[in-house]
Amino acid sequence: MARAMKVAIVDDEADMRQSISQWLALSGFDTETYGSAEEALAAITADFAGAVVSDIRMPGMDGMAFLKRLMGMDSTLPVIMITGHGDVPMAVEAMRLGAFDFLEKPFNPDRMTELAKRATQARRMTLDNRALRKELSDGTTIMKKLIGASAAMERLREDILDLGQADSHVLIDGETGTGKTLVAHALHAVGPRAAKKFVSVSCAAWSEDQLAAKLFGPTEDGVPMIEEARGGTLCLEDIEALSHPLQSRLLTVINDQGTPPETRIIAICNEHAPDKTLEDILRPDLFYRLGAMTIVLPPLRSRGEDILTLFTRLSEQFSEEYGCDAPALTAQEAAQLLQAPWPGNVRQLVNIAERAVLQNRRGSGSIASLLMADNEASGPALTTEGKPLKEYVDAFERMLIDNTMRRHKGSIVAVMEELCLPRRTLNEKMAKYGLSRGDYT
């Protein structure tokens, strides 16, 4: 399941710490409190999974000195400063030093929640991108993350390899949770710009003024992202949230670059109204520049047996993480996974797989109950597409052979004995489902 992002609250006043902590906890955040900057610095590291809320005026190390220490540790860590009425100039200076935003006392709790959501969203994307970069030694590594043998995934991998070699800007669209950020990284990793920088920013995580400064400058504590990505790739997530004034500035930058562009832009659309397309949201000239090449990711419900393959891989990963056995799917559970509507796509499947492993460790629960809870329905809803019985049978058969081959590390004899299959039949079925013994040894 998706882990809640943390918010570290630093204030020397116990009542203030408790008040902020209670409010944010009610809003779904995992909070931790510290009575001094020194105490917080002992606990907060460069990979801290969340944001920091700090008072400016504190005894000992004050908020400004604390902010400088945090920025020196990790300049991307979102820090929200709390100021008194007369401290606004100090708050402006804090913004110059890299603070995410500030709140003036007495502040509106809803405003605190809004800032915390934006800050943790920005932090989550930073940490996800950082983790991806660590894993990417070459394009082959990330392409292996695009799991699935369906026709839709085969086309997606081919599109990535083709478009990755091009210089034109790319627009990535698709339902939430389909893996658009992963595809953006793959496009960069398989192309000639792989050795250059991949710079990513969410257009929805910052206010218009903050985003303008981050993208175009002026910045006193760093290089604008347009410059930082020069020669490489600039990934603009949530492009639908880009304001019209900033769309105009971006278009100017694109036009000034000429052909081929010095910096490639990959724009990701994460959410828009069902009755609107991205062409309706972006100004036409920008849309046609960014959408010169387009990739639309397939929804999970249309990927057939990939659902079972992904569930198996994910449950194996989580079972290793939690030190327990992965759940073995029954035919009925496999059918329920194939029939589920998956509105959250792969991201939702990740959550289901983790919860299934945790349930299996406790020896309770079922896939059906997880799907019912996840979809807030009386039972696992069917997809609108519908599938013939043969597809369910083939998907389950492929999963059984794949799981058995993995368990026996490619031993054909052991698989033949467990599944009661003659060698010729096993070979035929492996060829039918695109399974190779070499993938398991």
User: Which CATH superfamily includes the segment(s) 136-298?
Assistant: P-loop containing nucleotide triphosphate hydrolases (3.40.50.300)
Residue-level pLDDT at 379: 39
Give the three-state DSSP class for 362: helix
- What's the rounded Cα separation, in Å, for the pair 130 and 125? 8
The Cα-based distances of 158 to 187, 263, 309 in angstroms read 11, 23, 20
Amino acid making up residue 130:
R
Phi, psi of 189 (to 5 degrees): -70, -30
CA-based nearest residue to 314, from 299, 329, 302, 303: 329
Instruction: State the SS3 of 204-263.
Output: CCCCHHHHHHHHHCCCCCCCCHHHHCCCCEEEEECHHHCCHHHHHHHHHHHHHHCCCCCC
- Whole-model pTM: value is 0.63
Tokens at residue 13, please?
A: 């006043």
Asked if 6-120 and 136-298 have one fold, the answer is: yes
For the chain, percent helix, then strand, then coil, each to nearest 5? Answer: 55, 10, 35
Tokens 């959410």 found at: 271
Residue-level pLDDT at 375: 62
Residue-level pLDDT at 190: 86
Tokens at residue 42, please?
A: 């002992």
Q: In CATH, what is the architecture of 6-120?
A: 3-Layer(aba) Sandwich (3.40)
Q: Which residues are CB-neighbours of 252 under 8 A, at least 6 positions away?
A: none
The domains of the chain are located at 6-120, 136-298, 302-439
Tens of pLDDT along 103-155?
988 888 899 999 999 999 889 888 877 776 665 544 566 777 888 888 899 89
Taking the chain (441 residues) in runs of 10, the rounded mean pLDDT of each run is 75 92 91 94 91 93 92 90 82 86 87 91 82 58 80 90 90 91 91 89 90 84 85 93 93 86 91 70 89 91 88 89 84 83 90 90 78 57 53 76 82 85 84 80 73
Residue-level pLDDT at 279: 78
Tens of pLDDT along 46-87?
889 999 999 998 999 999 999 999 998 888 899 999 988 777
Tokens at residue 242, please?
A: 């880009």
Give the three-state DSSP class for 62: coil
